[in-house]
């Protein structure tokens, strides 16, 4: 098992949710609202005046638990232009050493 984590612009939340719901490899996913803080944000062309004033950018963090064999298919779908994530998302993958249902 792996955990695919996405950090995305809040503007893509609904389209991302719609896309993830169409993928049989994605059993469930979690959205968490987060704030991105960085000195590099000033170079972000999508940065609003509000973001410049408050000093952070609202983002959504998406956690998706996947079988390792599903990663390339899910990533390929999310990287397609119609997914709307171009220049609006970062991702990373971490191994999951233990996973269990509800305790």
Range of the domain at 52: 2-94
d(CA 96, CA 69): 14
pLDDT of residue 42: 60
pLDDT of residue 36: 80
d(CA 49, CA 54): 9
Residue at 100 is within a domain:
no
| Residue 15 pLDDT greater than 80, yes or no | yes
How does pLDDT run across 46-93, given as a tens digit for each residue?
666 666 656 677 889 999 999 999 999 999 898 888 777 776 788 999
| Residue 6 pLDDT greater than 90, yes or no | yes
Number of domains observed in the structure of the chain:
1
Element (H, E) at 20: helix 13-21
- Short-list 73, 43, 77, CA closest to 57: 43
Residue at 103 is within a domain:
no
pLDDT of residue 39: 65
CATH code: domain of residue 55: 3.30.70.120
Question: Quick one: pLDDT band at residue 99, thresholds 50, 70, 90?
Answer: confident
Token digits for 77?
Answer: 């779908």
How does pLDDT run across 23-32, given as a tens digit for each residue?
999 999 999 9
| Cα distances (angstroms) measured from residue 6 to each of 17, 76, 101 | 12, 14, 22
Question: Quick one: pLDDT band at residue 43, thresholds 50, 70, 90?
Answer: low
Residue at 89 is within a domain:
yes
């Amino acid at each position: 098992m792996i955990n695919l984590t996405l950090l995305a612009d809040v503007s893509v939340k609904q389209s991302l949710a719609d896309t993830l719901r169409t993928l049989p490899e994605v059993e469930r996913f979690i959205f968490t609202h987060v704030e991105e803080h960085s000195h590099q944000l000033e170079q972000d062309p999508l940065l609003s005046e509000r973001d410049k004033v408050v000093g952070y950018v609202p983002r959504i963090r998406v956690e998706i638990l996947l079988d390792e064999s599903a990663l390339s298919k899910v990533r390929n779908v999310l990287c397609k232009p119609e997914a709307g994530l171009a220049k609006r998302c970062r991702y990373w993958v971490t191994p999951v050493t233990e996973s269990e249902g509800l305790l």
